[in-house]
Structure 1
Amino acid sequence: MAERYSSFTPGGTGWLLQRVTAAFLVVTLAFHFFLLHFVNHAYEITFAGTQMRMENIGYLITMVLFLWAAAFHGVNGVYNALVNQGLSGTPKRIVLAILSLAGLALVAQGTYVALVMNGMI
């Protein structure tokens, strides 16, 4: 039988954070879809309505945490999938740097937009 290989160390921090962010994403994605696709239909979503929702501190915090969790979960998942496919050495370090910078840029831009929509900036 083939041996199972994973770049995640079972019980390690990366392994745990991948599972915690997955659980958080399931809950917040359900909230997001319910609010923006069932309570408010797509044709009812406006810029002013988004600003109004973002002015609620609970909603703002939830959406910013949603962004951070999604960015970490995605970047960490892509990186570990590539490592599982055999990426190693210098290419592994380069991919890690590129993915980390892209993730940080996404989080920085998304957080900035959220704060602008909230009126804090």
Structure 2
Amino acid sequence: MAERYSSFTPGGTMWLLQRVTAAFLVVVLAFHFFLLHFVNHADEVSFLASSARMETLSYYSLMVLFLVTATFHGVNGVYNALINQGLTGRKKQLIKGALILASIVLIVQGIRTANAWAGGFPL
């Protein structure tokens, strides 16, 4: 019988964060689909309407939290998948650094974009 292998320590912090972020993403994606595919149909979605939604602090905050959560969840998943495939040593450190740098760039650019759509929240 094959043994189960995972780079996540069951019950560890990263294991827990991966599950919590997954649950959060499911809820936010459901909200997204409901709001933008059932309440507002595709022909009603416009840049102006999106900008108006982003001007409300609650929607803006949810989208920024969604950005940070999705980035963490995705990068953490990719990193652990690579470790599960046997990534070790110097390559592991280089990949980790590259993923952290890519995450920072993605989050900063995402917040800049959200700020532009929201009319310039000072963040």
> With structure 2 as the length reference, what TM-score do the two structures score?
0.94
- Provide the secondary structure at the position in 1 that maps to 2:87: coil
- By how many angstroms is 1:112 displaced? 1.2
- Provide the secondary structure at the position in 2 that maps to 1:11: coil
Q: Which runs of 5+ in 1 are unaligned?
A: none
> With structure 1 as the length reference, what TM-score do the two structures score?
0.96
**Number of the residue aligned with 2:100:** 100
| AA at the equivalent of 2:95 | V
User: How many aligned residue pairs are there?
Assistant: 121
Are positions 1:60 and 2:60 aligned together?
yes
- By how many angstroms is 1:75 displaced? 0.2
Moved over 3 A (4+): none
**Number of the residue aligned with 1:24:** 24
Q: Tell me how far apart the structure 1 counterparts of residues 78 and 43 of structure 2 sit (CA, whole Å).
A: 33
- By how many angstroms is 1:49 displaced? 0.5
Please, what is the CA RMSD of the aligned residues?
0.9
Q: Tell me how far apart the structure 1 counterparts of residues 15 and 112 of structure 2 sit (CA, whole Å).
A: 29
**Number of the residue aligned with 1:9:** 9
| AA at the equivalent of 2:80 | N
**Number of the residue aligned with 1:81:** 81
Quick one: percent identity of the two aligned structures? 64
Q: Which runs of 5+ in 2 are unaligned?
A: none
Q: Tell me how far apart the structure 2 counterparts of residues 92 and 43 of structure 1 sit (CA, whole Å).
A: 46
